[in-house]
Structure 1
Amino acid sequence: MKPSGEKSRKAERLMALVAVALLLFCPPLIIVVDRLTTLHVGWLPLYLFSAWAVVIGLTAWLMEHHADR
């Protein structure tokens, strides 16, 4: 059984991850990225897929990293 301190740290890290995800997908930031154009290439799809991959990767790392202990 894990000590309660370890569980609370895991919960804090997951809440921080949720906050990061909310910031990455907030409408003002998405609008800024949508308006960036270089050589008539929109960056929005690349940004969305990259941000989503980062959130999934961090979630997997947090869940697996602490499962081994």
Structure 2
Amino acid sequence: MKTSGPKSRKTERLMALVAIALLLFCPPVILVVDRFPTSHIGWLPLYLFIAWAIVIGLAAWLMEHRAGR
């Protein structure tokens, strides 16, 4: 039985967040970012920091977001 409502919607959004996190941190994407042609700047640490901050921010927003607002 599928329940409808805010609880089901929240679960779907959290599952989508997990899928986004898996895509952001999958090895092919990380390898592409690591091989950006630059002179002296390493983009991998910056990418990892920003991607992790996005995942944490979205998780916090999804957990604190209320349907009544």
TM-score range, shorter chain: 0.7 to 0.9
TM-score of the superposed pair, with normalisation by structure 1:
0.87
Question: What is the alpha-carbon root mean square deviation over aligned residues?
Answer: 1.8
Query: Sequence identity, in percent?
Result: 78
Greater strand share, 1 or 2?
Answer: 1
Q: What corresponds to 1:40 in structure 2?
A: 40
Q: What corresponds to 2:29 in structure 1?
A: 29
- Which runs of 5 or more structure 2 residues have no equivalent in the other structure? none
How many residue pairs get matched?
67
TM-score of the superposed pair, with normalisation by structure 2:
0.87
- Which runs of 5 or more structure 1 residues have no equivalent in the other structure? none
Greater helix share, 1 or 2?
Answer: 1
- Offset of residue 68 of structure 1: 6.7
Give 4+ residue runs of structure 1 displaced > 2 Å after superposition.
66-69
